[in-house]
C-alpha cells in the first residue's frame, strides 16, 4: 500500500505546488464499504475551496 501512496504523492506534488500549496499528507482508508483517497494540503494564509 505504501508504494501506491508514494506513487500518488509523486504524481500530485507538482500539481499542488504549482497552485502555491504544499502537500501535507495522503491517506487511503476504508470508509464503510468504500475506499477513500484524502489529500491534505496547506499554504500560507490557509486554503480555500478555490484551492
pLDDT digit string (tens) for 11-50? Answer: 999 999 999 999 999 999 999 999 999 999 999 999 998 8
Residue 12 lies in a domain: yes
Whole-model pTM: value is 0.80
Count of the separate structural domains present in the chain: 1
CB-based contact 37:50 (threshold 8 Å):
no
Residue 18 lies in a domain: yes
Which region holds residue 7: left if phi is over 0, alpha if psi is between -120 and 50, else beta? alpha
Task: Select the more confidently predicted residue: 2 or 20.
Answer: 20
Give the domain extent around 25. Answer: 2-42
| 1 has a pLDDT exceeding 90 | no
Amino acid at each position: 500500500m505504501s508504494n501506491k501512496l508514494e506513487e500518488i504523492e509523486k504524481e500530485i506534488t507538482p500539481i499542488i505546488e504549482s497552485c502555491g500549496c504544499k502537500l501535507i499528507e495522503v491517506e487511503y482508508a476504508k470508509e464503510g464499504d468504500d475506499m477513500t483517497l484524502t489529500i491534505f494540503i496547506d499554504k500560507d494564509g490557509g486554503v480555500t475551496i478555490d484551492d
